[in-house]
């Protein structure tokens, strides 16, 4: 019994004197920051490089439009949108396009401008679209301009100064020029055109 008590006493002493085992360090994660950075990366990678943004829909946030497919064989160009519920636009006789948006005084929302490379590459054909009830409608009929008449001054169409139901657009005209080396040239003219949708 005496030896038993001595063993218990020595065991208790050695246990009390042993240093406590170190606890693993607590690592706190900033979850909100991590999620924000991940979402930011995912969102940015989904936006095509040539996308443009605009307030195309009333009472809604801006969204982007981008050229999705250029079918050289069928000579069509398809434009898609960030909001997948909105109908895509497929343009015939177009082997590529650049996009922009513009706000005219006569309209309550931005207009989508599509500058297509026409099937004859010396021309560009312009289309203006407005979004109505989730469908894109032409603002005016498409119009063609020769590349020699293009400039960096923006969209070659503007509001009519006195008639709110019309616009004034540019177009190219073939003109004979006896003094030039080629004996002809392309001249830029303007014409009035009815607004089809607004």
Number of domains in the chain: 1
Residue 42 lies in a domain: no
State residue 151's pLDDT score.
76
Residue 173 lies in a domain: yes
Percent of the chain with pLDDT over 90: 53
Residue 35 lies in a domain: no
Reference 124, options 95, 159, 90; nearest CA is 95
Give the whole-angstrom CA distance, residue 163 versus residue 148: 30
Reference 67, options 77, 57, 76; nearest CA is 77
Percent of the chain with pLDDT over 70: 73
N-terminal to C-terminal alpha carbon distance within the chain? 105
pLDDT tens digits for 47-76?
Answer: 888 899 999 998 889 999 999 999 999 999
State residue 185's pLDDT score.
84
Residue 3 lies in a domain: no
Residue 170 lies in a domain: yes
Q: What is the pTM of this model?
A: 0.72
What is the extent of the structural domain holding 68? 51-194
pLDDT tens digits for 97-109?
Answer: 999 999 998 899 9
Give the whole-angstrom CA distance, residue 142 versus residue 163: 20
Q: What is the largest CA-CA distance in the chain?
A: 132
Residue 161 lies in a domain: yes
| pLDDT greater than 70 at residue 140 | yes
Residue 59 lies in a domain: yes
Residue 90 lies in a domain: yes
Local confidence band at 6 (pLDDT 50, 70, 90 cut-offs): very low
State residue 181's pLDDT score.
67
Reference 157, options 146, 137, 172, 171; nearest CA is 171
């Amino acid at each position: 019994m005496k030896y038993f008590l001595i063993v218990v006493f020595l065991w208790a002493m050695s246990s009390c004197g042993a240093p406590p085992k170190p606890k693993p360090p607590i690592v706190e994660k900033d979850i909100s920051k991590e999620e924000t950075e991940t979402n930011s990366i995912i969102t940015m990678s989904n936006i095509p490089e040539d996308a443009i943004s605009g307030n195309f829909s009333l009472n809604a946030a801006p969204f982007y439009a981008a050229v999705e497919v250029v079918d050289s064989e069928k000579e069509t160009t398809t434009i898609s949108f960030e909001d997948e519920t909105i109908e895509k636009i497929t343009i015939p006789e177009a082997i590529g396009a650049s996009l922009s948006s513009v706000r005219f005084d006569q309209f309550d929302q931005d207009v989508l401008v599509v500058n297509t490379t026409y099937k004859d590459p010396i021309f560009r054909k312009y289309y203006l679209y407005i979004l109505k009830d989730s469908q894109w409608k032409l603002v005016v009929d498409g119009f063609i301009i020769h590349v020699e008449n293009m400039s960096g001054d923006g969209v070659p169409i503007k509001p009519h100064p006195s008639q709110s139901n019309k616009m004034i657009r540019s177009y190219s005209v073939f003109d004979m020029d006896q003094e030039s080396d080629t004996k002809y040239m392309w001249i830029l003219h303007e014409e009035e055109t009815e607004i089809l949708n607004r």
